[in-house]
Chains A and B, each alone.
Chain A
Amino acid sequence: MLYAGLDMGNLTTKAVILKDEQILSQAMVNSVEDGESRARTALDMALEGTGFGTGDIACIVATGAGRKAISLAQKQRAPSSCLARGISRLLPSVRTLIDVGAETCTVVRVNDRGVADDSIGNERCASGTGVFLETMAKLMQMPLEEMARASMLAEDKAEITNMCAVFAEQEVISHVHRDPPTPKNDIIAGIHASMATQVGGLAKRMGIKTDVALTGGVARNAGFVSALQENLGVVLMVPDRPEFVAALGAACAARDEACRSA
């Protein structure tokens, strides 16, 4: 029997398919189509080459910011509960999860039953999210992947104190135009540190219980990971595919759902 989890993010859609207990496949699509078609595309991509079709899926659960509009899914679950569910399957010792997505930043406290105990999210600000990094990458005229490397090479870090993405942009520009200009690597390290302050601040509002995991696409950025580790003073665990954790949790929830109604 197959069970699917869909994570309808702001920029990307992720699908994870479970075959009984095991992860069968996963897929991620990056598109601006409407939710329903994105969901369908992601599922089709995940099923491709597995020999199964949508008809084999017993239950689908949707999560993420765009979960509401998906008629394909039998159930909708909140991102915080799916993140807790997903991480406790991958890294059961985790008690605090920090998820940094494209436009969201969510911190979840996970209890020893693997259930979300409390959660907190950024509300009206891009400064602690992937979009912030993307804006900065554009500003620095550097691909995102290179930013991570550059900041690891920095000798010092530029001070970027403004919380707001808009003002931080001004600060970065003034570093670039300084005479002599602040080295690029140092500016990027400063950008990562400033974002770590934001994300770390949110996590501290929740309270840090170890172990701590970082998930979401931004977790792939080694420069940010080390900045956040420094900010929090803890070692961060990062799962292999950090952007699929919520979708995996949703798939697990789908399996529960199917078992419950069976």
Chain B
Amino acid sequence: MTTTVADTAKLRQIVEVVDAVAKLQRQRLEREPDAVNYQIVVRYFNNVLTAKEEGKLVVAHTPMIAPEILFAMDIVPLQLEFAATLAAQIIPGIQECFSTAATAGLAPEICSAQRLIAGQAIQRWLPRPDALIWSNQVCDNTAKGGNLLAEVFDCPSFFLDRPYQFSERGVHYFTEQLKELIRFLENLTGRRMDWDRFSEVMEYSRRLQDLHREIRELRKAVPCPWRNLWFIHMQGTEMYWAGSPEAIAHLEAIRDAARQKVTEGKGYVPVERFRILTIFVPPTSGWAMMGWMQGKHGAVCVAEPYFSFRDGEAIDPAKPLQSLARKCFYCPICGPMHGPASEGIVRDTVRDAVDYKAEGAVCFASIGCRQTDACIRMLKESLQEKAGIPMLVLDNDTYDPTYVPEDQLRDKLDEFFELLEGRK
């Protein structure tokens, strides 16, 4: 059960479609940030496709492995969940991937992201990487998924162990883990880490973080200068492009577009009717729903507590390794996914609801995500008690559209906006 041949047909298909979308967005009014987003997605996968001829190594990894280290070592990253997401949206046949994963012995209660990645790997949707890195940065599923993948890809692999909570001793351990990872990559490439280059990469990372915070401030404006889909794009860029000029270009385009609106005193939609807090992510097949709720209901996503930089910390490019280790404790997803919730996601959600004048929250409860779902009741109650707003819970599966049809989700949203209207 191993893949030996590099299959690039599926990746080429993805690149082709995304490239066409980028060109289309370019021609549309106020879609500059979208165009830049799709453009850098194309560049990301083109890098994977051309790595061999440029003599570079491709290292596959699961979410929240800081790409900064790979960029600093001139290695081409391939974020498997990101590739899986795009593949799921563009290429038919994800149900076959799920059944392949089931045949390999993965139970249905395993997160569909892991089942999809495994299924794609076995079915050779993706080229075989030169190495695999995975981590418990997000959850148990990402922590365990790598064992099978390493076997399927039959390549050198590294597990990055991340402590549960922020503490100086935890940061120290994680820094050691990152050093170990660097040694692993040095052995793989036969080259030493270029620490000056690492500092440059971390300088991009620092600017990116500043942009995140600047954009967050702009979104506090009423009406909100925000296109709902941007937050998904923005988080994608943070996850797979952090530490690169491409990421800066993307977030600057978003920042400029938002700032323009704020200066004009306008929102992204002509009439802003509801300000919404988004908890976790909509299913990959339902991203268009975010635009739909903005167009049909004037519902604007103002903040996403799971996907925000926590306050306080800054990156020091002069200390790249330590800064990167610390960043992993407060950056989007990594921070809020781990605990404790009282100093994390519960506190941040209430704070965002108040700061962003949210009128309701929409929570996407993915059946595979035990960590976010276990917080639902605490979040709902806290929002009710401390911010006075209701939270809609939408059961779904992030990757499997057959679990709950999108129509049902839209009906629930229709109903929720009716309820919000009645509460006004």
Q: Which residues of A contact B (CB under 8 A)?
A: 68, 77-81, 111, 115-121, 123-124, 205-207
Contact = CB atoms under 8 A, between A and B. Distances in A.
11 contacts: A79-B415, A80-B415, A80-B419, A115-B423, A116-B423, A118-B391, A119-B390, A120-B393, A206-B380, A207-B381, A207-B384
B418 A81 contact: yes
Interface string B399-424: 00001100000011011001100110
Contacts of A118: 384, 390-391, 419
B380 A78 contact: no
Contacts of A120: 393
A115 B423 CA distance: 7
A45 B403 CA distance: 39
B395 interface: yes
Contact of B415 (A78, A117, A123): A78
Nearest to B414: A78
Contacts of B404: 123-124
A78 B417 CA distance: 10
A237 B240 CA distance: 55
Contacts of B391: 118
Contacts of B422: 81, 115-116
B377 interface: yes
B423 A117 contact: yes
Given A80-B415, A124-B404, 16 more contacts: A78-B415, A78-B418, A111-B423, A115-B422, A115-B423, A116-B419, A116-B422, A117-B419, A118-B391, A118-B419, A119-B419, A124-B395, A124-B403, A205-B377, A205-B380, A207-B384
Contacts of A206: 380
Contacts of A78: 414-415, 418-419
Interface in B115-135: none
Nearest to B360: A118
A116 B360 CA distance: 13
Interface of B: 376-377, 380-381, 384, 390-391, 393, 395, 403-404, 411-412, 414-415, 418-419, 422-423
Contacts of B411: 68
Nearest to A80: B419
A111 B412 CA distance: 20
Contacts of A117: 390, 419, 423
A111 B393 CA distance: 20
Nearest to A78: B415
Residue with the highest number of chain B CB atoms closer than 10 Å, among A80, A118, A207: A118
A202 to B, nearest CB: 11
B419 A81 contact: yes
Nearest to B422: A115
A46 B137 CA distance: 61
B186 to A, nearest CB: 49
Contacts of B381: 207
A68 B412 CA distance: 13
A146 B380 CA distance: 39
Contacts of A79: 415
Nearest to B411: A68
A120 B361 CA distance: 13
A201 to B, nearest CB: 10
A199 B39 CA distance: 49
A194 B390 CA distance: 28
Nearest to A115: B422
A93 B63 CA distance: 50
| Nearest 8 A/B pairs, CB to CB | A118-B390, A78-B415, A123-B395, A78-B418, A115-B422, A116-B419, A81-B422, A205-B377
A65 to B, nearest CB: 9
Contacts of B403: 124
Nearest to B407: A68
A106 B364 CA distance: 19
B39 to A, nearest CB: 38
A163 B391 CA distance: 24
A2 to B, nearest CB: 24
Nearest to A118: B390
A79 B411 CA distance: 11
A203 to B, nearest CB: 12
Contacts of A115: 422-423
A205 B377 CA distance: 6
A40 B319 CA distance: 74
Contacts of B380: 205-206
B380 to A, nearest CB: 7
Contacts of A68: 411
A114 to B, nearest CB: 10
B282 to A, nearest CB: 16
B400 to A, nearest CB: 13
A68 B410 CA distance: 12
A119 B423 CA distance: 12
Contacts of B376: 205
B392 to A, nearest CB: 8
A105 to B, nearest CB: 14
Residue with the highest number of chain A CB atoms closer than 10 Å, among B377, B395, B422: B422
A77 B418 contact: yes
A245 B376 CA distance: 29
A253 to B, nearest CB: 10
B10 to A, nearest CB: 31
Contacts of A205: 376-377, 380
A78 B418 CA distance: 7
